[in-house]
Every structure is written in C-alpha cells, then in structure tokens.
Amino acid sequence: MIQISALPAFTDNYIWLLQDHRTQRCAVVDPGDAAPVQAWLAAHPGWVLSDILITHHHHDHVGGVEQLKNATDAKVYGPASENIPARDVALKDNDRINVLGWEFEVYAVPGHTLGHIAFYHHGLLFCGDTLFAAGCGRLFEGTPEQMHTSLTRLASLPEDTLVYCTHEYTLSNLKFAIAVEPNNPDTAERLEKVTAQRAAAIMTLPSTLALEKLTNPFLRVHETSVKEKVDERNGTRNLGPSAVFAALRAWKDKF
C-alpha cells in the first residue's frame, strides 16, 4: 500500500511524498526545497528516500534535488530535454518507469516549459505546473497551441484520475473561472467549498479530472458559455479551441 501526502514548501508549493509502508522506501515529486523532505525523513527513522521525480526545470521544483541526492543516493528521474540537476534517468514521451513497485507512464506536456513532463499511474497524475486545480500553468516557454494540446491529452485520461499538481492556486483559479462562467453552478459550488477550505487552512488537492472538466475553464474551451465570454471580451467570433485557450490564458495573466 502506497500512501501519498503533501509536504508544503515555500509559500504555495507542495512536494508530493509517496510512501511504501511494506518496504519503508519513499519517493518525492518536485522537491524545490530539500528541508521539508529531510525533516520528514528525520521524523521517520528507518525510511529511505529511493526516488526523486521531476516534471520540469524551474527552481521551485528542482532546488532541493542535489542536496537530497547527496544525502540519500536516490535515483533522479527528469525530462530529457531540460537541465535537471543530478538527473540519473532522462525521460521522453511514452517512457515507462517503475517507482516503489508502481509503473508510471511519462507524458510530454509542453507549454509551461518546453520539456515539461507528467507522470501517470492508473488513477494518479503528477502534472507539475501544466494542469492546476481549476487552472493551468503560465506559458513561460511554450505556445498556446502546445499547452492546449497538452491539457487535452491529460483531460483524456479516466475521469476518476486524481490530479496532483504542485501549487495551492485553487482559490485564485476559481475566482477567474467564475468570471469566465458566472452561471456555471459547479464552479459556484466549488468556489464556495474551496473558500471555506482555505479559510480553515485546508489543502484543496488532489482534484479529479471529472471535477476539472466541470469547473476548469482551460479544459472547457469547447463550451458555448466559454466561447461566448471570449467573443464578448475580444470582439471576435468562431475562434478555434486553441485560440479560445490563448485568449483565456492572456486574460488570466492580467486577472
């Protein structure tokens, strides 16, 4: 049985910790800071960090890698086309890896960065800064077309897939989502729930793909309500899905 929990880092990052209670081996995803991981290991004697999974090269996702690697000799997996510190295994699209006895499939999901990858094991998605709860990552390197394609690919996974993204952005994302679809009852209900959760300092992750499809405007670019709102703001008509996505992302960047 593998348990998944979150180690908070910085102001709004989560380092995902996977624990195999049979072997007392564990893995982490995107350790931007070594300290939370080392504190957990110190509080759980006998546990060994065996694997480090990296989705992309940004410092808040890789800043702790070398320190953890030196202290534990964990195996570091990361995207082949990005500069990942202490990487042992360079991963490309459709590669498969075995971590703690679980097989993960690697998806190339360019957009936030050009080499960004996601890790998928049946029912679980570690997607870094590509798909967020009720949102998506900024386009620092990729194009809107690339990001739309990446999100479409992730959205095609089973609806009960748990979405483990790496930032607590859900509340701010939902405030944007309700601006895009003010008459979406699912978004209104989720916003109310998440507002209460954050007021009580409760984590809002993981999400599910089913919930994202109902409330995440970036996965709803085919919906008439979303297209009409973009038309209204931009004075345009009949935009294709990638263009609707691009308009939404540009709006969110200034929201």
Question: What residues are annotated to the active site?
Answer: 56, 58, 60-61, 112, 129, 167
Q: What is the dihedral of CA 244, 246, 247, 252, to 10 degrees?
A: 120
Whose tokens are 């095609």? That residue is: 156
- Cβ–Cβ under 8 Å, residues 130 and 150: yes
Q: Is 56 annotated as a binding residue?
A: yes
Indicate the helix (H) or strand (E) that contains 2: strand 2-9
CA distances (Å), origin 104, targets 87, 98, 209: 17, 6, 18
* Residue among 247, 119, 122 at smallest CA distance from 131: 119
Distance CA 170, CA 193 (A): 11
Name 3's bridge partners.
19
The amino acid occupying position 87 is R
The answer to whether the annotation marks 167 as part of a ligand binding site is: yes
Is 160 annotated in a binding site? The answer is no
Cβ contacts of 146 within 8 Å, gap of 6 or more: 110, 111, 114
Helix (DSSP H) and strand (DSSP E) numbers for the chain: 9, 14
Contact status, residue 139 vs residue 147, Cβ threshold 8 Å: yes
Cβ atoms of residues 121 and 98 within 8 Å: no
**Bridge partners for 242 per DSSP:** none
Residue 61 assigned as binding residue: yes
The answer on whether 112 is annotated among ligand-binding residues is: yes
Residue 252 sits at the vertex; the CA angle it makes with 247 and 255, to the nearest 5 degrees, is 130
Query: Residue positions in the annotated binding site for Zn(2+)?
Result: 56, 58, 60-61, 112, 129, 167
**Binding-site residue ranges:** 56, 58, 60-61, 112, 129, 167
